[in-house]
Amino acid sequence: MAVSDTDLIRAWTQVLTLSKLGAGDAVTVLTSDHTHPQTLRCAITAATMLGACVSRLDLPPVNAEKSLSRDTLAYLGTTPLTGNRAAIAALKASDLVLDLMTLLFSPEQHEILAGGTRILLAVEPPEVLLRMVPTLADYHRVQSGVALLKGRKSMRVRSPGGTDLHCPLGEYPVTAEYGFVDQPGRWDHWPSGFAFTWPNEGGAHGRIVLAKGDVLLPMKSYVGEPIELTVQEGFVTRIEGGTEAELLCEYIESFADPEAYAISHIGWGLQKRAYWSTLGLYDREATLGMDARAVSGNFLFSLGPNNEAGGSRTTACHIDIPMRRCDVFVDDLQVVRDGRVIEELMNQPAGAAHA
């Protein structure tokens, strides 16, 4: 259903206020050919109404000859900022960058964040943005999830289909995504709502069995038949199943990069306003599939890079796989049971109050 500009401007105003945008702050809106025009004009209107000095930086697309998909997450690393020192300088000079283009997993993004610039990604359709407008309640819920992950030595995931994955933890930081950027040098994604980390290098082992209804991204498809992944020393070493398993293998093999098989981030969704069913209601090119990534109680794991967490893997292949109906344990504490967050744990104090 269409969204009114009034409602979307209100939503942007809420997000920008939570992101501590002040009068006189420099905001750069990063756009490309696929930026949604309503999202763009409402973002600029809201930022201007809050007194910010707003500029737009529009960049041409890249990677068309390399990527097998039009999805902006289907080929990572090289971005429209690669080698573009003037554009990088403009973004580093900004207090806040509104990324309506999708700049991820790139050295340029790390360079911009290192200077204290905040970056907020927002590329889902306007109605998805409106439905999952971030709130302080989202912040506190995600911080509760982060608190459950911090200091843990292991994560174990099981499912009725046969998943039994073991991941040692502690080598990489715990990350929170709650939909706004309230600290210098922070990146976040609207919409979101999950807590995650990365397994220790070479430590993940076991097997993952994808069941009907689980989701493959960037394919943006529901799994229709079981796919079994064998995990050894941090890498998927075997993918078995029917036609869907063969297609997944072919996609990963197209990158000709062994690092594409590495287990990347692992965690669980916490967003109560996200739904599994929405992926089937959109054209594949209209959405990134953030509902599936963030839906409360999922187990989300990824294959590919870990440079976002300070690791050395920079493969262009990045696959996110949200799974339903899993049991998730951190050390001996169960945090997700049969695909549902154990809500009693979410009522515990999440640490320092949000300033």
Burial of 349 (0-12, 13-18, 19+ CB in 10 A): exposed
DSSP string, 17-45: HHTT--TT-EEEEEE-TT--HHHHHHHHH
Give domain status of residue 351, yes or no: no
CA distances, 277 to each of 169, 273, 292 (Å)? 32, 12, 8
Shared-domain flag, residues 198 and 251:
yes
70 DSSP assignment: S
Residue 321, phi then psi, degrees to nearest 5: -135, 100
Shared-domain flag, residues 10 and 151:
no
Q: Which domain holds residue 125?
A: 5-131
> 280-284 long-range contacts, Cβ below 8 Å, gap at least 24?
280/222, 282/125, 284/71, 284/220
Cis peptide leading into residue 226 (ω within 30°): no
Give domain status of residue 222, yes or no: yes
Ranges of H-type helices in 132-236: 136-149
Which pLDDT belongs to residue 272? Answer: 98
Shared-domain flag, residues 184 and 257:
yes
SS3 191: coil
Shared-domain flag, residues 333 and 239:
yes
Which of 105, 131, 157 terminates a domain? The answer is: 131
Which pLDDT belongs to residue 75? Answer: 76
As given in the structure block, the two tokens for residue 47 are 């930022």
Shared-domain flag, residues 13 and 127:
yes
Q: Which of 351, 291, 343, 348 is nearest to 322 (CA)?
A: 291
Q: Are 159 and 211 in contact (CB under 8 A)?
A: yes
CA distances, 242 to each of 94, 227, 238, 325 (Å)? 49, 7, 13, 22
d(CA 313, CA 315): 6
As given in the structure block, the two tokens for residue 243 are 């036609």
Which of 116, 131, 146 terminates a domain? The answer is: 131
79: domain CATH number? 3.40.50.2300
The 3-state secondary structure of 88-133, one letter per residue? HHHHHCCCEEEECCCCCCCHHHHHHHHCCCEEEECCCCHHHHHHCC
d(CA 53, CA 65): 36
Full pLDDT tens readout for the chain, 355 residues:
799 999 999 999 999 999 999 999 999 999 999 999 999 999 999 999 999 999 999 999 887 787 878 777 777 767 889 999 999 999 999 999 999 999 877 889 989 999 999 999 999 999 999 999 999 999 999 999 999 999 999 999 999 999 999 999 999 999 999 999 999 999 999 999 999 999 999 999 999 999 999 999 999 999 999 999 999 999 999 999 999 999 999 999 999 999 999 999 999 999 999 999 999 999 888 999 999 999 999 999 999 999 888 888 889 999 999 999 999 999 999 999 999 999 999 975 544 333 3
Give domain status of residue 207, yes or no: yes
* Count: domains in the chain: 2
Shared-domain flag, residues 103 and 225:
no
Scored b (16 or more CB within 10 A) or e, 214-246 reads: bbbbbbbbbbeebbbbebeebbbeebebeebbe
Which pLDDT belongs to residue 107? Answer: 84
Shared-domain flag, residues 270 and 153:
yes
Give domain status of residue 352, yes or no: no
Which pLDDT belongs to residue 355? Answer: 34
Burial of 15 (0-12, 13-18, 19+ CB in 10 A): buried
Q: Are 122 and 99 in contact (CB under 8 A)?
A: yes
Residue 39 neighbours by CB distance under 10 Å: 23
SS3 142: helix
Which pLDDT belongs to residue 348? Answer: 57
As given in the structure block, the two tokens for residue 179 are 């939909």
Which of 83, 112, 131 terminates a domain? The answer is: 131
